[in-house]
Amino acid sequence: MTIDVSAIRRAFPALQTPTVFLDNPGGTQVPQRVLDRMLGYLTQCNANRDGAFATSRASDRLLEESRSAMAALVGAARPEEIIFGPNMTSLTFQVSRALAAEFHAGDEIVVTRLDHDANIAPWRLVAEDRGCQLRWIDFDPEDCTLDLSHLDSLLGPRTRLVAVGLASNAVGTINPVAEIVRRAHAAGALCYVDAVQFAPHRRIDVQALGCDFLAASAYKFFGPHLGILFGRHDLLARLRAYKVRPASDSPPGKFETGTQLHENIVGALGAAEYLAGLSGLESGEWDARFDRAFEVIETYETTLTRRLVAGLLNIPGLRLYGISEPDRLGNRLPTVSFTIEGKSPRHVAEHLGSNGFNVWDGDFYAPAVTERLELDQRGGLVRVGAVHYNTEAEIDRFEESLRRMA
């Protein structure tokens, strides 16, 4: 099965304009299915939880249907392992506070220089508050891949947690997270995974990864702004939640204190339905449909990645950061960052923006990356990112505009 890109693009209202959306690493556009779900919720069953009346009951059913869909999307064993929140960053701070209560002075927390700061800052602050040691996994600036031998030297009997991203939001590297989890667990540590950048591109399976926690954001996989957290049920049940008294004492409710973003949660259900629809299967279990859909997405996006990387490498004065060898492109996403000699990243982004191409510049909330690459004082990087609604023609036009400027 192949992707019908024209049909896909018709499902996205924003794509009916001339704008070329290559800013997807910062947030994807939403299909009509998501908008319909959100509007339907707000007009037909907008109510708070656990009421003894019809709209509240209908609202509760939709919220739990979305929870089941998100559980299937990440491969969770049960819906109760899914927690909703305003965003990935807030959820990570919330969990870090709960975990911090079990950490002691002298314990060690391992983070990476390749991560978004949302999977660094919470653990750095825990280390400061609890007297823990913060250890850093370095990455190779030549290809922006993590140094796993360095990880081995950091793990020890006092390691309590390893925080790592499934993929870098700055340079697109896919990290060997299953292996990192295995080594963390062998040392007796937990593993917290940031899957935000990975989620729209590849199938997530927390069972295969073996991780203890995994966080994602619906607005990165064609939904509304919403944070989604997977946590092993035994851990969620054990941890102390900072909550109001009437909130449940059991997961997931104990971590969802306060009124949630109901219409956004239902919008995430719409995103799941959209993704499942890419499988070509009219019905069936979520798992099977997601498996098939992401096979199709990965196959098509591999073509986009090859075209994007090859074209950028032919532009004079351009330096691409991350994996670029054709036989290694399977280890990266179509999230690609670069600099152009003599041009500031903001200047490049402004030029492209004035020509109808949306791209990002800066550090993308991953300052550890630009610091390690010694680009933090030079404006960081230019970042482009394709998803399955982008076309090869868009990439060709983008590269031609970039070549004219360079």
> What span, in angstroms and rounded, lies between the C-alpha atoms of 26 and 113?
19
Q: Is the pLDDT of residue 282 over 90?
A: no
Per-residue model confidence (pLDDT) at position 324? 97
Three-state DSSP class for 137? strand
In the chain, list all ranges with CATH 3.90.1150.10. 5-30+286-405
- Tell which residue, 241, 164, 240, has the closest CA to residue 209: 164
- Tell which residue, 404, 364, 356, 355, has the closest CA to residue 383: 364
Per-residue model confidence (pLDDT) at position 405? 86
In the chain, list all ranges with CATH 3.40.640.10. 35-276
> What span, in angstroms and rounded, lies between the C-alpha atoms of 75 and 286?
10
Element (H, E) at 129: helix 121-130
> What span, in angstroms and rounded, lies between the C-alpha atoms of 228 and 82?
7
Per-residue model confidence (pLDDT) at position 257? 87
Report field, pTM of the whole predicted structure over 0.95: yes
Q: Mean per-residue pLDDT for 53-58?
A: 98
In degrees and rounded to multiples of 5, residue 139 shows phi and psi of: -130, 160
Write down the CATH number for the domain with range 5-30+286-405. Answer: 3.90.1150.10
Write down the CATH number for the domain with range 35-276. Answer: 3.40.640.10
Tokens of 69: 């869909």
The tens digit of pLDDT for each residue in 379-392 reads 999 999 999 999 99
| pLDDT-based confidence at residue 283 (cuts at 50, 70, 90) | confident
Per-residue model confidence (pLDDT) at position 1? 73
The tens digit of pLDDT for each residue in 130-170 reads 999 999 999 999 999 999 999 999 999 999 999 999 999 99
Range from 105-109, 196-200, 242-246, 380-384 carrying the lowest mean pLDDT: 242-246
Q: Mean per-residue pLDDT for 194-201?
A: 98
CA atoms within 13 A on the CB side of 174: 15
